[in-house]
A and B are shown apart, each in its own frame.
Chain A
Amino acid sequence: MSRTSIIALLIFGAILGYFLSFGADSTRKFQAGVYQLIAPFLSSGSGLQKQITSVRSGLKSLEDLERENTALRVENRELRATNQGLRDVEHEVNRLRHALNYRERSVFKLVPAVIVARDSSTWWHTVTINRGKEDGIESDMAVVTDEGLVGKTTTVGTNISLVLLVSDENCKVAASVEGTREQGIVSGERVTSGLTPFLNLKFLSKQADLKPGQKAYTSGVGGVFPSGLPIGVVKSFRVRELDGQAQLTPAVELSHLEDVFVVTGRK
């Protein structure tokens, strides 16, 4: 091995040792710094992705039109395409109006945020939002939509934050089940095979006997998540050796999220 290679290896070892010595706080600061650095790229990428998706869906509807209405004239096709464009705008207006209504009627102080990126890794379920310290966001704040709980913030940069989704195994939420006195802890699954992840509600009593369709809400224990937020709906219940466990379908469709709210306090 040449002298240059040995020196390179020593420098590499020193830098590696330096990074391995990082604690939680240093890691969080470093991560926030890197995310801050790439925030403009994520925002631009998110915009580009939306445009591509829009073009793709537009092409799809044209294909459908061609199949179903071969006899229609070109002028008619143009009118339909324009109509499709207007429907997209209408959908966007409705979505934003819906979000605005929720913000006004909610008992919480909510900061609206847009998801700019989804997790790129296999084992972690996170999303990146375009709000950060500048907007009053801190670590461990609940993230919701009008449908229910989405997750909580972890690393927070100046104007970008990471949200740990409720479908992640590391996101643990104290929950209660409607119509019962049952309380338990909800967490995600380590591995999901379909587009829709399921949640596990553990540490219930063996006699709980939950029925499909019953709703689970945050109980407020622990302080991170305010009480009363819908988490999911019971899909099945089984008795284990020491406790009862229910499988929940999340209240929020996590794979199609676009807008979320960060709970910064009560009104």
Chain B
Amino acid sequence: MIFFLILLALVFIAQIAEFFIPALPWLYNAHIYIVPLIVFYGAMALPFPLMLALALYAGILLDALTVQVVGARVEISLGWSILLYAVLAGIMHGLRPLFIRGRWEVHCVLSGICTSAIILAQYLMITFRRGSLFFSREVWWQIGGPGLIAMLMAPIIFWLLQWMGRITAYPYLPEGNRFE
């Protein structure tokens, strides 16, 4: 339970930190996202009900901080990010046995793909609202760039989270000696 509370706190801190991380001009203004990585790690480490709770919490935060209300129109309704997080975290949760067997690389790659999937879903939803669907090089990089960065960051963040799980004696984590 302590580890779950730590993950909630980390999601909150990461969401605030993302406000202060500038977009990368050399990567077509791609943004860096940390929250999805914490949620996806939680999806592998937590039991199903707590995974849902984490997805709910992260989705509410993401929606509340990014949803755009212009006049009487909401661009993407509150709740869509919760659904996205829950579905993607559910996929990661389904691959938990691999994670326990120590196959981290699959989850690192998948975390990047899922991070890009969130941004792609947002793009499709705003395009549905605004019209004119197009995929320029900038669009692909702004969708794929954060995913690539997430893939690169995943091993470090997963290792840090696993270390936190160990020091809080979290029982759902994979046994340490299987990774060492």
Contacts and interface: CB of A to CB of B under 8 A. Distances in A.
Contacts of B65: 31, 34-35, 38, 120
B60 A195 contact: no
A122 interface: yes
Interface in B9-35: 15-22, 25, 28-31
A193 B122 contact: no
A140 B70 CA distance: 8
Given A9-B52, A117-B19, A191-B138, A123 B123 contact: yes
A5 B53 CA distance: 11
A19 B25 contact: no
Interface in B33-75: 48-49, 52-53, 56, 60-61, 63-75
Interface residues of A, number: 53
Contacts of A190: 126, 130
- Overall SS of chain B's interface: helix
A100 B136 CA distance: 43
B73 A24 contact: yes
Interface stretch (B77-85, B105-113, B159-167, B172-180): B77-85
A126 interface: yes
Interface string B121-140: 01100100010000010110
Contacts of B71: 24, 140
B94 to A, nearest CB: 12
B130 A169 contact: yes
Contacts of B31: 120-122
Contact of B67 (A7, A15, A27, A45): A27
A2 B28 CA distance: 46
